[in-house]
Structure 1
Amino acid sequence: MYWTEFLTVALIHLLAVASPGPDFAIVVRESVGYGRRAGLFTAFGVGTGILVHVTYSLLGIGLIVSQSIVLFNALKWLAAAYLLYIGIKALRARPADPAGAELNLAAGERSGRGAFVTGFITNGLNPKATLFFLSLFTVVINPHTPVAVQAGYGLYLALATAFWFCLVAWLFSQQRVRAGFARMGHWFDRLMGTVLVGIGVKLALTEMR
C-alpha cells in the first residue's frame, strides 16, 4: 500500500545523498587520512545523524525549527563553526617527512569513536538536512501515513546513507588511492580544508526561506 510513497522517498534521498556536500567531504578526508576503519566509522556516524533528523521530524520539532529564525540561525552557526574549525585545521597541514610518508599512511592514528563523532556532528548539525527532512516528512510523505511506517522510512534512510558512505569510504581508503593522495601530502589536506571552509561559509550565509 505504501510502496509508491516509499519508492518516491528512496529516489529523492538517493539524489540528495549522492550530491557532494559536507558529509561526502568529511568521509573522504577521514578515509584518505586515516584509512578504511576511520572512514567506515565516519560513515556510520553520518548514518546515525540521519536518525536525529528523522526523530525530530516525526515529533514535529523540525517544523518549529523551520519557523524560528533564532533556532535556525543557532543551528546554522553551530554547523558552520564546526566545518570551519575542521577546515582551518586541514588548511594548516604541513608537508610530511617523505621518508615517513608510507609509515604514517599505514599507521594513521584515529579512534573509531572520534571518527564516528565527526560524522555524526557533521550530519546532525546540518540545517540543510533539517529543511530536507522537514519537507520530506511534511510534503512528500502523507501525514496520514502511520507513524510506524514513517519510522520505517526513516530507518531505511539512515541505513541507506550509511551504506552509501561506506562505499565512499571503501573506495577512498584503498591502498592505491591513499598512496596517490599521500604523494600529494599536505596539498590534499589543504584542498579538503578549502572545500570544508567553503561549505562552512556557504552554510553561514544561508538564509531561511
Structure 2
Amino acid sequence: MYWTEFFTVALIHLLAVASPGPDFAIVVRESVAFGRRAGVFTALGVGAGIFVHVAYSLLGIGLIVSQSIILFNALKWLAAAYLLYIGIKALRAKPADPARAELSLEQAVRSPRAAFATGFVTNGLNPKATLFFLSLFTVVIDPHTPLRVQAGYGLYLALATALWFCLVAMLFSQPRVRAGFARLGHWFDRLMGAVLIGLGVKLAFSELR
C-alpha cells in the first residue's frame, strides 16, 4: 500500500545522498588519511546521524526549528564552525618527506570511536539535512501514513546512507588510491581543507527559506 511512497522517498534520498557535501568530504578524507576501518566507521557515524533527523522529524521538532530563525541560525553556525575547524586543521598540513609518505600512511591510526563521532557530528549538525528531512516528512510523506511505517522509512534512510558512504570509504581506502594521494601529500589535505572551509562558509551564509 505504501510502496509508491517508499520508492519516491528512496529516489529523492538517492539523489540527495549522491550529491557531494560535508558527509562525502569527511568520509573521503578519513578514508584516505586513516584507511578503510576509519572510513567505514565514519560512514556508520554519518548513517547514525540520520536517526537524529528522523527522530525530530517524527516528533515535530524539525518544524519548530524550521520556523525559528534563532534556532536555525544557532544550528547553522555550530555546524559551520565545526566544518571550518576541521578544514583549517587540514589546510595547515605541512609538506612531508616523499620517501616517508607511504610509511606515514601505514602508521596513521584513527580509533573507531573518533571516526564514528566525526561522521555522526558532521551529519547530525547539518541544518541542510534538517530542512531536507522536514520537507521529506511533511511534503513527500503523507501525514496519515502510520508512524511505524514512517519509522521504517527512517530506518531505510539511515541504512542506505551508511551503505552508500561505506562504498565511498571502500573506494577511497584502496591501497592504490591511498598511495596515489600519499604521493600528493599535503596538497590533498589542503584541497580537502579548502573544500570543508568552502562548505562551512556556504553553510554560514545560507538562509532559512
1:21 alignment counterpart: 21
Q: Which structure 2 residues correspond to residues 84-123 of structure 1 after superposition, within 5 A?
A: 84-123=84-123
Equivalenced residue count is 209
CA deviations on 1:162-192 (whole Å, 9 max, x unpaired) are 0000000000000000000000000000000
5+ unaligned residues in a row in structure 2: which ranges?
none
Cα shift at 1:99: 2.6
TM-align CA RMSD: 0.5
| Secondary structure at 1:109 match in 2 | coil
Q: Which structure 2 residues correspond to residues 137-148 of structure 1 after superposition, within 5 A?
A: 137-148=137-148
Cα shift at 1:123: 0.3
Does residue 124 (structure 1) correspond to residue 124 (structure 2)? The answer is yes
Quote the Cα distance in structure 1 between the aligned partners of 2:105 and 2:93: 15
Cα shift at 1:106: 1.3
1:53 alignment counterpart: 53
Cα shift at 1:90: 0.3
Structure 1 residue ranges, 4+ long, deviating more than 6 angstroms after superposition: none
5+ unaligned residues in a row in structure 1: which ranges?
none
Does residue 190 (structure 1) correspond to residue 190 (structure 2)? The answer is yes
Matched letter for residue 18 of structure 1: A
Quote the Cα distance in structure 2 between the aligned partners of 1:47 and 1:117: 11
Does residue 8 (structure 1) correspond to residue 16 (structure 2)? The answer is no
Does residue 68 (structure 1) correspond to residue 37 (structure 2)? The answer is no
Q: Give the alignment's TM-score, normalised by structure 1.
A: 0.99
Q: Which structure 2 residues correspond to residues 29-48 of structure 1 after superposition, within 5 A?
A: 29-48=29-48
Q: What percentage of aligned pairs have identical amino acids?
A: 84
Cα shift at 1:107: 2.0
Cα shift at 1:100: 1.9
Cα shift at 1:103: 1.3
Cα shift at 1:200: 0.1
